[in-house]
Amino acid sequence: MGPAACSILCKDAMLIYSEAGFEKSLEYIRRSKLIAIDTETYWTNDWQQKRIIGVSIYCEFPGDNGLNQVFNAYYPFRHGIDATTASPRNFPLDYLHRLAEACNHDGATHLFHNRKFDHNTFRRDNIELTRPFKDTMLITHMIDENTSHVLEDLAEAYRLDMGATARKKEIHKLRKNTAWHCIDLTKMAEYACRDTANTYKLFEITWPELEHQELSDLWETEEKFCRILTDVEFRGILINLPLLRDYRDDAEKRMLQLEVELGCDPMKPAQLNKLLFEQHSFRPVGYTPGKPTKQFPNGRPMMDEKALMKMAKTCIDPVKSLTINKVLEYRGLVKAKGTWYEGFIQAADSISRLHPSFNQHGTTTTRLSCSDPNMQQLPRDVESTPVYKALEASPGYHLYSFDYSQLEFRLTAVYANESSILEGYRRGVDFHSLTARNLGVSRQLAKTVNFLIVYGGGAGKLSETAGIPLESAREVLSRFHAAYPNIAKIAAKAEFTADQRGFVKLWTGRRRHFVNKWEHHKAFNSIIQGGAHEIIKRSALNFYESDIRRRGLAHLVCEVHDAFWFEVSEEFTDEINEQIKDLMEWPSKDSEFMIDFPVDIKRLA
């Protein structure tokens, strides 16, 4: 490819800007089996406006001399000289379709680092990348979930590109004074080409490592689940923006009212300190002004939500108690207004839909994390923070939640083969009620104990959480282990396995790795949390392979812990709900799980 076709940026990297260069490059791409693809987009928070400004490609193809030749190039499509003038080097948008068509040739496998982002970016131009793919962000998470999965960090950790982080910082500095799509085209091209080159080389190193850990057979499931999440994010969730604006305005009015009643801004520690500890002479147990203690190391009381709630519970003076509750109400309104009302309003696209990111690489236990916005932390108190009331279904659909009933506790009983719990579930007895009866405590305390055991807590944590003396907490835990001896045994076995191997396996064979020995007590909890998500993941696959999804009778729009949200056709609601429920309850038909795994259905909108 001659100088008329491109300019050389760095070793093997080119900026394609002529028709002849473009045509020649398609020949190289069609001869390649592995094609690394990365997109650059407009830098914006508006989902619909994250359009492609350029695409970088890295691939290797057989040369005329029998040796593999490297092709690494950047194609500009929407670059600008300034905010109003397009770059003359941009290709027409129909060339973007032609580039994608070449990448989709038979026999090709695509390589990405964060495939969901790139795929949905292409979709905004009505382009589907259809070939099988590998995603190095997900592969490295499978290999070791405890490390960073940022491409630049991985490139340096694997010693592929020791200047990757510095170059990223350098080019990102440029956007302080320049729109992202107007950054010097040559600099952008070199930056983008290095990303695809690093993705390709990272795959060559990490895929054999995945095979060595005997995890490569699990990739097909991860790939399918990634495709599902890509669709979920692209569709989004419909919300009622006018209602959210009303909630925001109401919250602001109530906050102003509380500021007047309290005579201060409760978000400012100095003013709050004066209100509680000078004006009301409030003294938490163990607190002496200005004197550091173990409970108050800085010599002043903590005023976070947890501390304030403890004050409210222990305060017998009704005036002081009312003041603290008003402070808590104010802080709750600040959270609701900023995170949920205004946060959702800012995150919504031009057609009133949220597009949260569901991150397969976001936790060490393999569970999904969620961001922008985090749908997994929606407040449950609908009266004080009615975010759920702002959820809507698309026209012609209803919005339902399908939630596994006590999924992690059922999996705990199966792993431990704890006969009393298994039999209780078979008879339809609630696990928390069963524990309450066996321990001789209230159902609420039993529920706290059950969660504590599954999450690896001890007597100290139970004492703090339940508000009971330490000796009482120890006695309750002793009765728990006497009632369910196999749980302690299986937890100890998991910890021993982590000590010996540095990892434990989920029921699918997926590994949970441990870096530090002091984390090994979390091994059983990791097996339960990760194993629960593996059940949920396969339920999503069941739905996507179903006829009701292909016919558009239901759409998966969100995952919240152990629940899926579906938009269900209002014409066949009852019938479809039963089909989805049946698809999700597949473990109930699998003898290895021994008990039913029921799903509860609740209408959201």
pLDDT tens per residue across span 388-416: 999 999 999 999 999 999 999 999 999 99
Give the Å distances, CA to CA, from 490 to 417, 453, 487, 493: 9, 12, 5, 5
What are the structure tokens assigned to 598, written together? 């029921």
Structure confidence at residue 460 (pLDDT): 85
Multiple choice CATH, 6-213, 3.30.465.10, 3.30.420.10, 3.40.50.1820, 3.40.50.450: 3.30.420.10
Q: Is 12 left (phi over 0), alpha (psi -120 to 50) or beta?
A: left
Multiple choice CATH, 408-530, 1.20.140.10, 1.10.10.60, 1.10.150.20, 3.40.630.10: 1.10.150.20
Q: Is the dihedral of CA 101, 103, 108, 112 positive or negative?
A: negative
Q: Where are the alpha helices (DSSP H) in 417-503?
A: 419-426, 431-439, 443-454, 459-466, 470-483, 485-501
Cβ(399)–Cβ(603) below 8 Å: yes
In this prediction, residue 160 has a pLDDT band, given cuts at 50, 70 and 90, of: very high
The helix, strand and coil proportions of the chain, stated in percent and rounded to the nearest 5, come to 55, 15, 30
More confident: 304 or 234: 234
- Per-residue pLDDT averaged across 526-550, rounded? 96
Which H helix or E strand runs over 379?
none
Which H helix or E strand runs over 600?
strand 599-603
Give percent of the chain with pLDDT exceeding 90: 68
**Listed residue (323, 341, 342) closest to 266, CA to CA:** 323
Phi, psi of 237 (to 5 degrees): -125, 130
Statement: residue 488 has pLDDT above 70: yes
Which pairing describes strands 237-239 and 357-359: parallel, antiparallel, or unpaired? unpaired
More confident: 583 or 275: 583
- pLDDT tens digits, 360-380: 998 998 899 999 999 998 988
What are the structure tokens assigned to 317, written together? 């003076």
What are the structure tokens assigned to 368, written together? 């999904």
- pLDDT tens digits, 428-446: 988 999 999 999 899 999 9
Tell me what the pLDDT averaged over the chain comes to: 90
Spatial distance between the Cα atoms of 162 and 324, rounded to a whole number of angstroms: 53
- Contacts of residue 107, Cβ cutoff 8 Å, sequence gap at least 6: 33
SS3 string of 121-179?
A: HHHCCCCCCCCCEEEHHHHHHHHCCCCCCCHHHHHHHCCCCCCHHHHHHHHHHHCCCCC
Statement: residue 452 has pLDDT above 50: yes
Q: Enumerate the β-bridge partners of residue 40.
A: 54
């799903």: which residue's tokens? Answer: 599
Structure confidence at residue 68 (pLDDT): 87
Give percent of the chain with pLDDT exceeding 70: 92
Structure confidence at residue 567 (pLDDT): 97
Domain boundaries, the chain: 6-213, 241-351, 408-530
Statement: residue 270 has pLDDT above 90: no
Spatial distance between the Cα atoms of 352 and 237, rounded to a whole number of angstroms: 8
Choose the weakest-confidence range: 246-255, 380-389, 485-494, 577-586: 380-389
Structure confidence at residue 209 (pLDDT): 97
Spatial distance between the Cα atoms of 230 and 277, rounded to a whole number of angstroms: 52
What are the structure tokens assigned to 539, written together? 């339920």
Give the Å distances, CA to CA, from 139 to 132, 183, 219: 14, 32, 8
Statement: residue 7 has pLDDT above 60: no
Statement: residue 291 has pLDDT above 50: yes
In this prediction, residue 11 has a pLDDT band, given cuts at 50, 70 and 90, of: low
Phi, psi of 68 (to 5 degrees): -70, 135
DSSP secondary structure, 68-91, as one string = EEEEEEEEESS-BSSSS-B-TTPP
Whether omega for the bond prior to residue 373 falls within 30 degrees of 0, making it cis, is: yes
Which pairing describes strands 369-371 and 391-392: parallel, antiparallel, or unpaired? unpaired
Structure confidence at residue 143 (pLDDT): 96
């490390």: which residue's tokens? Answer: 147
Q: Is the dihedral of CA 565, 568, 570, 575 positive or negative?
A: negative
Structure confidence at residue 5 (pLDDT): 42
Structure confidence at residue 383 (pLDDT): 81
Which pairing describes strands 6-10 and 34-41: parallel, antiparallel, or unpaired? unpaired
**Listed residue (144, 11, 6) closest to 74, CA to CA:** 6
Statement: residue 3 has pLDDT above 70: no
Q: How many CB atoms lie within 10 A of CB 293?
A: 11
Give the Å distances, CA to CA, from 35 to 96, 118, 357, 467, 554: 16, 14, 25, 58, 34
Spatial distance between the Cα atoms of 282 and 303, rounded to a whole number of angstroms: 12
- pLDDT tens digits, 307-349: 677 666 766 677 777 888 888 899 899 999 999 999 999 999 9
What 3-state DSSP class applies to 400? strand
Structure confidence at residue 464 (pLDDT): 81
Q: Is 146 left (phi over 0), alpha (psi -120 to 50) or beta?
A: alpha
- Per-residue pLDDT averaged across 163-169, rounded? 90
- pLDDT tens digits, 540-591: 999 999 999 999 999 999 999 899 999 999 999 999 999 999 999 999 999 8
Q: Report angle CA 398, 400, 403 to the nearest 5 degrees.
A: 170
Structure confidence at residue 73 (pLDDT): 96
Cβ(534)–Cβ(221) below 8 Å: no
- Give the best-scoring range by mean pLDDT among 41-50, 174-183, 232-241, 384-393: 232-241
DSSP state at residue 70: E
Structure confidence at residue 403 (pLDDT): 97
What are the structure tokens assigned to 35, written together? 């094609």
Give the Å distances, CA to CA, from 33 to 72, 75, 108, 137: 14, 20, 4, 20
Tally of helices (H runs) and strands (E runs) in the chain = 23, 18
Spatial distance between the Cα atoms of 249 and 201, rounded to a whole number of angstroms: 52
More confident: 386 or 2: 386
- Per-residue pLDDT averaged across 73-84, rounded? 92
Choose the weakest-confidence range: 36-40, 382-386, 503-507, 600-604: 382-386
Class of domain 241-351: mainly alpha
Structure confidence at residue 12 (pLDDT): 64
Phi, psi of 39 (to 5 degrees): -115, 145
First vs last Cα of the chain: how many Å apart? 58
Q: How many CB atoms lie within 10 A of CB 288?
A: 10
Structure confidence at residue 6 (pLDDT): 47
In this prediction, residue 292 has a pLDDT band, given cuts at 50, 70 and 90, of: low
Cβ(421)–Cβ(411) below 8 Å: no
Statement: residue 238 has pLDDT above 90: yes
What is the distance, to the nearest Å, from the Cα of residue 155 to the centroid of all Cα atoms in its chain? 23
Choose the weakest-confidence range: 12-21, 504-513, 528-537: 12-21
Cβ(155)–Cβ(132) below 8 Å: no
Q: How many CB atoms lie within 10 A of CB 581?
A: 15
